[in-house]
């Protein structure tokens, strides 16, 4: 058991919080037909992409230590990280977790509805609305919420195990 478990859970919680914020923004703007400055423009659905931190570190390859004693380097032989402690013992710390790779706009076309009374309707009475499906967004929200909760439970369980070990 490692304190890195907290980092893994925390990175997962942070990523899911960002996903929930993005989904909430999509739901809040389901009928938005104007830009924040008031000019005409339809809100475009946003999605979050995640990337494993471990994959990032693997792709960078081996790294040499600097003079800083807190630096770590990736050891391709063990697949772990070694801390520059001055000891011969290899501390293989696997750095796992996720990070938000990007928040990107959807490429799906917007939808057109007929509403001649809408202030942003064109000459033919059609209004361009965001390409957001509220049901899909709610499913994404529940999924992100459950993933956040799972990471929270992991952090709590590790905390409990560490406290139990300290009481022995």
Q: Could you tell me the residue ranges of all domains in the chain?
A: 4-30+46-105+132-167
pLDDT digits (tens, 9 = 90+) for 47-64: 998 887 764 444 454 444
Q: Which of 16-25, 30-39, 64-73, 105-114 comes out lowest in average pLDDT?
A: 64-73
Answer yes or no: are the C-beta atoms of 129 and 111 closer than 8 Å.
yes
> Six-digit token pair at 40?
């005409």
Split at pLDDT 50, 70, 90, the class of 88 is very low
Rounded distance, CA 74 to CA 65, Å? 10
Task: Tell me which residue of 85, 50, 88, 46 sits closest to 68, measured CA to CA.
Answer: 85
Q: Is the whole model's pTM more than 0.85, yes or no?
A: no
If you average pLDDT over every residue of the chain, what do you get? Answer: 79
Q: What Å distances lie between residue 52 and 57, 96, 151, CA to CA?
A: 9, 7, 15
Q: What is the pLDDT of residue 77?
A: 54
Outline where DSSP puts E strands in the chain: 46-52, 72-75, 80-83, 98-105, 111-114, 126-129
Taking a C-beta distance cutoff of 8 angstroms, is the pair 32, 42 a contact? yes
């Amino acid at each position: 058991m490692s304190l890195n478990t907290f980092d893994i859970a925390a990175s997962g919680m942070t990523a899911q919080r960002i996903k929930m914020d993005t989904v909430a923004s999509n739901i809040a703007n389901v009928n938005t037909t104007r830009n924040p400055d008031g000019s005409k423009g339809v809100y475009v659905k946003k999605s979050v992409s995640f990337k494993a931190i471990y994959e990032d570190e693997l792709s960078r390859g081996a790294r040499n230590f600097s003079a800083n004693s807190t630096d770590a380097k990736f050891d391709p032989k063990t697949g772990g990280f070694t801390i520059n402690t001055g000891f011969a013992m290899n501390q293989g710390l696997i750095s796992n977790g996720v990070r938000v790779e990007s928040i990107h706009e959807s490429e799906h076309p917007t939808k057109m509805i007929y509403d001649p009374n809408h202030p942003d309707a064109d000459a033919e009475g059609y209004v361009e609305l965001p390409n957001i499906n509220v049901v899909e967004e709610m499913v994404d929200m529940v999924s992100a919420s459950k993933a956040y909760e799972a990471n929270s439970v992991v952090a709590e369980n590790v905390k409990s195990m560490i406290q139990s070990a300290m009481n022995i």
